[in-house]
Structure 1
């Protein structure tokens, strides 16, 4: 029984291009009690592999967090399968604003301790006592209230390219860092202010809202469906768009444009730019913002040193990497000292 990928990302990309069929990029999450996570993981892989689903899915005892690419022609069959799983029946699917057939190139269903790394001990508070969910229209009204504090629950490299007007954007590398940072910053306003939160698709706010209520915040709200659903509702209902720039997404696209504003700059030359790239040097792979001119000039690398390594023969690059860990750890996105105009 096949429970793993048999094709490389390069081979899969070639097949997708040859087929010429449209694919939909989708995300969803659900907190629920899952007993046998390994069995559930295998069940999903078997059924979704048959439907040519690709993506990154985390399964834990507390639920599921999924980012997927589904052939448009298999979308109804995919939804039908979700409905056969009791806690996923009718689950909200966040469909990407900007579609890309190459958003995911492998199916990865992984068992994790948590579906989001929050660093919290869930036994110490009621995770079901969540904040009030609001739609885009209610959200727009709330954030104009002078008694509202609007908080971005994402990381620095996400909010750098796009965020809501007047939002607090913590300068943090991880979600777990943001929880304590925000609590400390708003410690004097637990009773007199409305705490309104948002994130990419809503999952981080689900846990954060319960945590902040446990910490004494009296009025806690969260944007239902996150920025993805907000953008859809703004378009469908012709609402005022209060989001500036791009929404960072965790697939090969790296971002969806929500407004025409460009609020960040190239980390190498400083011109207005909001395009994330990964350094082409496989020993580095740093995520940073790079304009088209710098990309050409630097061979898609973050530094002259990486450029030199990238231009070496492949076997020499492999020899240099042997026995060494990545030089830029995952949580140092955009913070390398080689980047002159980093945030």
Structure 2
């Protein structure tokens, strides 16, 4: 029985182009007690492979986190399958603002220790004891309250290209970094301030809201469905949009345009730009912001060193990548010393 991908990303991209069918990009998550994540993972892979679902899905004892794309004509069957799983019945599906045929090129269902890495080892912390979920209209009202502290629970490279007005945007590389930093910054306001949080689709805020309640914060709120659902609601209901810029997403699109505001800059020349790319040198693969002019001048690379590597024959490039990792810049997410205008 096939429980893994047999096609490369390139082969899959060709098949998607040939099929020419509409696909929906969406995401969902659910915290739940899963006794056997490996068995559940296999169940998901078998069914979703049949439906031609592609994406990146993490399963753990604490629940599931999924970003994926579904052929539009299979959406009904996909939803029926989810509703047949007791803890996923009527789960909120965050439908992307913009759809892309090749937002995902493979189906990857992986078992992880946690669906959101938090670095916590506190057995008394219950992620299900979450804060109050609020929809777009209530969220807009809350963040205008002078007694509210609005916090972006995403990482620096996400908030760099877009965020809510007047939000606290921690300069962190990972979610786990932000938990202690925010608690320390707001420790004197656990009872007198409303702590309102947001993230891409809600999963990080849900864990953070439970964590801060566990730490003694009395008034904890989170944006229901994150930026994705907020955008859908403000557009559907004609509400004021208080988000500016682009929403970073974790697929091949790397971002959804929410407003025309460009609040970031090219990391190489400093001109206004908010397009994330990955360095063309596969041994680097650094995520950074690059404008079209720099992309052309630098051959889609982050540095002249990487540019020289990409000019080598493929076999020589593979040899440079062999063995122990020769670069960890992929984890720096735009913080490479090679980038003159990084945040």
d(CA) in 2 for partners of 1:126 and 1:15?
44
Map of 2:109 onto structure 1: 109
Which segments of 5 or more consecutive residues in structure 1 lack a partner in the other structure? none
Q: Mean alpha-carbon deviation: is it higher for 115-124 or for 161-170?
A: 115-124
d(CA) in 1 for partners of 2:10 and 2:117?
29
2:165 aligned with 1:192? no
- Shift in Å, 1:129: 1.7
TM-score by length of 2: 0.99
d(CA) in 2 for partners of 1:145 and 1:332?
36
2:178 aligned with 1:178? yes
Native 8 Å contact 1:12 1:105 kept in 2: yes
Map Cα deviations across residues 132-164 of structure 1 (whole Å, 9 max, x no partner).
100000000000000000000000000000000
**Runs of 4+, deviation exceeding 3 Å:** none
d(CA) in 2 for partners of 1:32 and 1:128?
8
Map of 2:261 onto structure 1: 261
Native 8 Å contact 2:329 2:336 kept in 1: no
How well do the aligned residues superpose, as a CA RMSD in angstroms?
A: 0.8
SS in 1 for 2:241: coil
- Shift in Å, 1:122: 4.7
TM-score by length of 1: 0.99
Native 8 Å contact 2:131 2:221 kept in 1: yes
Map of 2:125 onto structure 1: 125
2:5 aligned with 1:9? no
Native 8 Å contact 2:283 2:326 kept in 1: yes
Map of 2:69 onto structure 1: 69
d(CA) in 2 for partners of 1:52 and 1:129?
35
Native 8 Å contact 1:153 1:169 kept in 2: yes
d(CA) in 2 for partners of 1:328 and 1:285?
9
Map of 1:166 onto structure 2: 166
Map of 1:243 onto structure 2: 243
Map Cα deviations across residues 215-250 of structure 1 (whole Å, 9 max, x no partner).
111110000000000000000000000000000000
- Shift in Å, 1:174: 0.2
Map of 2:210 onto structure 1: 210
Matched pairs, number: 343
Native 8 Å contact 2:134 2:221 kept in 1: yes
- Shift in Å, 1:322: 1.9
Native 8 Å contact 2:249 2:256 kept in 1: yes
SS in 2 for 1:295: helix
- Shift in Å, 1:189: 1.1
SS in 1 for 2:123: helix
Native 8 Å contact 2:273 2:291 kept in 1: yes
Native 8 Å contact 2:193 2:219 kept in 1: yes
- Shift in Å, 1:311: 1.0
